[in-house]
Amino acid sequence: MTAPTESGIDIWDDDIVVDPYPTYAQLREQSGVVHLPENGIYVLTRYDIIRDVLGDPTTFSSTTLGFNPMVNEALQGTSLASDPPTHTQLRATLSENLTPRALRGLKATIEEKADRLVAELVAGGGFEAVDSLARVFPIEIVADLIGFNGHVKDNMMRWGQAAMQVLGPMNHRTQESFPIAGELYGWCSSVTADDLTPGSIGRGIFDAETRGDIPKGSAGHIIHQYLGAGVDTTVASIGNIVALFGRHPEQLRLVRENPELVPAAFAEVLRFWTPLHIWGRTTTRDVEIDGALVPAGAQLGILLGAGNRDPRHYTNPDVFDVTRNPVDHLSFGYGPHGCAGQGLAKLEGHAIIGALARHVRSITVDDGVRAPSNMTRSLETLQVLEVVGV
């Protein structure tokens, strides 16, 4: 068995993280697993390989899902950075309040908020879509859900972005974000049930700790995950919705004429512009991947966006097509660590797409600005230059 093929690129180079798709294509054609000596990792590039790895936590551990030792140490004992059976117990409490049944009561509220916000923005003419829509909407939803208020709600965006940045290698972005992520970690370490709104999911997590359903002291860690993992990626997705419908007016028209396409349209947004650039796993033994031997203890970088554009799996993968309905896309991960918050993310994404389809005949956007980021690929600004209401 041969050693994996190599590439001299830096997967966190500013130009690559802003537009990774040419690099994804190059690496994917090279091999299903490529060693990047510059980063000290092995990246996975093809759909089937990524899905197999995500589905096998015994061989591919989540205990070092970040790309620097400091963050991996900080995450020890959390649901994100644990393997079964510990993961199963911690995850159950995290997921309990995020099942379709648990979220059913929220659906109408989320749809009403999306409809009101989009209607106001459309009535006002042009608007900046990231600050006034992509950030405002999920922060309000998550704050209400978990019971955040006051300075916590005000800091959610800063904290959520930093919590993702620090998962990267020890570059300047990670170093600048550690103090901010530390504020979030410090708050989560000291938060009590009384700090959260009565009746909120956050209170419910503390109730589970009191009952002994989860280990003592883990409620704060679980709340950390709602904020750390749930905000930044959803913000990215909503910005991408507006940008893609601005670039592809015929796709917005299709959804407007066929409202049943809303879920398929959101799945296609997530597939076409994957919110997460890279995610980590570690091999627990020597293992063969795509005919090459990857050694035990190797750090893997899973390129979800490369898998989502793999022509071996999707026909015409570089075309944005809301009729495709790629329900098996990789943006929520797969297997036991599949995104616990995907039900909530879908409610939010569907609500925004539905509201745009109801209120917008056409939308013209600028190219938008993306700032280099270690983990999340999102728009920093996106100006809606013109919007024509229905």
pLDDT of residue 93: 67
pLDDT of residue 77: 75
| 247 C-beta neighbours (distance < 10 Å), count | 15
pLDDT of residue 76: 82
| DSSP symbols for 142-185 | HHHHHT--HHHHHHHHHHHHHHHHTTS-SSHHHHHHHHHHHHHH
Name the band, by pLDDT with cuts 50, 70 and 90, for residue 227: confident
pLDDT of residue 94: 67
Helix, strand, or coil here: 284? coil
Residue range 253-277: mean pLDDT, rounded: 98
* Residue range 228-252, pLDDT digits in tens: 777 899 999 999 999 999 999 999 9
* Residue range 100-121, pLDDT digits in tens: 777 888 899 999 999 999 999 9
* Residue range 342-357, pLDDT digits in tens: 999 999 999 999 999 9
Residue range 163-183: mean pLDDT, rounded: 96
Could you say which DSSP state residue 194 is in?
A: G
What φ, ψ does residue 370 adopt, rounded to 5°?
A: -110, 130
Name the band, by pLDDT with cuts 50, 70 and 90, for residue 58: very high
Pairing of strands 41-44, 299-302: parallel
Torsion angle (degrees, nearest 10) of CA 376, 274, 101, 255: 130
Whether pLDDT at 75 is above 90:
no
Which of 69-78, 259-268, 304-313 is predicted with the least confidence, judged by mean pLDDT? 69-78
More confident residue, 79 or 310: 310
User: Residues for the chain: how many in total?
Assistant: 390
pLDDT of residue 100: 75
pTM: 0.95
Which of 78-92, 124-138, 193-207, 276-290 is predicted with the least confidence, judged by mean pLDDT? 78-92
Residue with tokens 């936590």: 57
76: tokens are: 């020890």
* Residue range 306-321, pLDDT digits in tens: 999 999 999 999 999 9
Please state, rounded to an integer, the average pLDDT across all residues of the chain.
Answer: 93
More confident residue, 275 or 224: 275
Residue with tokens 């608007």: 127
Residue pair 265/177 in contact by the 8 Å Cβ criterion: no
Residue with tokens 């309905």: 325
* Residue range 81-101, pLDDT digits in tens: 788 877 777 677 667 767 777
